[in-house]
Amino acid sequence: MLLSMTGQGQGRRQYGSAEITAEVRAVNNRHLKVHLRTGEGLSNLEPQIETLVRQSLRRGSLQLAVQLTGFSLESEYHLQSEVVEGYLQQCRDLAKKLGVESTVGIGELLNLPGVVAEPRSGLSDTKPDDELVGKVLETVTEALECLNRMRQTEGQSMADELLRQLERLDGLAALIEERAPIVVEEYQTRLETRLAKALAEVGTQLQETDLVREVLIMADKSDIREEIVRLRSHLDQFRKLLAAENSQGRKLDFLIQEMFRETNTIGSKANDAEIAQRVVDVKTIIEQMRELVQNVE
């Protein structure tokens, strides 16, 4: 089963009057990179969240944002009565000193520094309770499951396309294999004709052993049977990896390289225009497969 490295997912849970949300996006990467951003009060949970991510993915660059919104902090704000009294007394003393009437009200004093004690950093200073921890991890799990469903769907589409490409490669390999012995026969015919013509001009007959030796040398240099066998073996291994239980992007990428190498060797050894055109077709398909495989976990 192939898994794509790209996708996205969301998770959402209620926590009292607050809401926990998790949004995840993944793109291609040779290794697993996790970029985690948590909202206020959730930073202590980052190791547990990252553990969940690494249990769900093996490759890709992942961005995950986890937020807690709507959590009331009203009870964390307090009036500093001593500070208010101090400001008020100073205003009265100053008014008395200046001989004017003090008209300062308590509402005006509320905007002065230090009158309202704010929470130092909200939820961040406290360890999240078990209920919050459970809800956050459930939300992240939901987002990752959503992501993986998308990755599976895209992976299946890629697997179907790769199987179609493999069928095309099988057909091209068969055509190349069928053409290979004909190349030798045509070479023998051309060589025999040219030599006979050249030797007739000087009054010498063509020796059969000389012709056979030249043809054998050419046949040995252009023998591509071993490369065809290896190419077919790579195609079979590729199919097995597509059907494997776990996604095998790295192994598929390696096989793509090996298939390309064998195809290059076939093209350089065959010395035939028709086979050369088939080789170009094979390379085009392999390159298309490579682009798909780059997105496989």
- Which range has the worst mean pLDDT, 17-26, 38-47, 217-226, 276-285? 217-226
Amino acid at 35: H
pLDDT value at 261 more than 90: yes
β-strands 32-38, 60-69 pairing: parallel
Has residue 270 got a pLDDT over 90? no
What pLDDT score was predicted for residue 101?
A: 80
Q: What is the pLDDT of residue 192?
A: 60
Band (pLDDT 50/70/90 cuts) for residue 290 is very high
Ramachandran angles phi, psi of 205, nearest 5° = -90, 150
What is the rounded average pLDDT of the residues 228-257?
Answer: 95
pLDDT at position 79 is 73
Give the residue ranges of DSSP H helices in 72-129: 81-98, 106-109
Give the rounded percent of residues in the chain with a pLDDT score beyond 70.
80
For residue 25, what pLDDT is reported?
Answer: 97
Residue 81 pLDDT: 83
pTM of the entire structure? 0.70
Give the three-class secondary structure for 9: strand
CA–CA gap between residue 282 and residue 259 (Å, rounded): 9
Mind listing the pLDDT tens digit for each residue in 180-207? 877 766 656 666 666 556 555 555 655 5
Read off the pLDDT of each residue in 158-183 and give the average, rounded to a whole number: 92
The pLDDT value recorded for residue 164 is 97
Among 59, 106, 270, smallest CA distance to 176 is for 270
**Side chain identity, residue 133:** V
Tens-digit pLDDT profile for residues 18-35: 899 999 999 999 899 999
User: What local confidence, expressed as pLDDT, does residue 125 receive?
Assistant: 45
Nearest Cα residue to 107 out of 135, 88, 120: 88
Q: How many residues does the chain have?
A: 297
Decide if pLDDT at 119 tops 80. no
Q: Is the pLDDT at 73 greater than 50, yes or no?
A: no
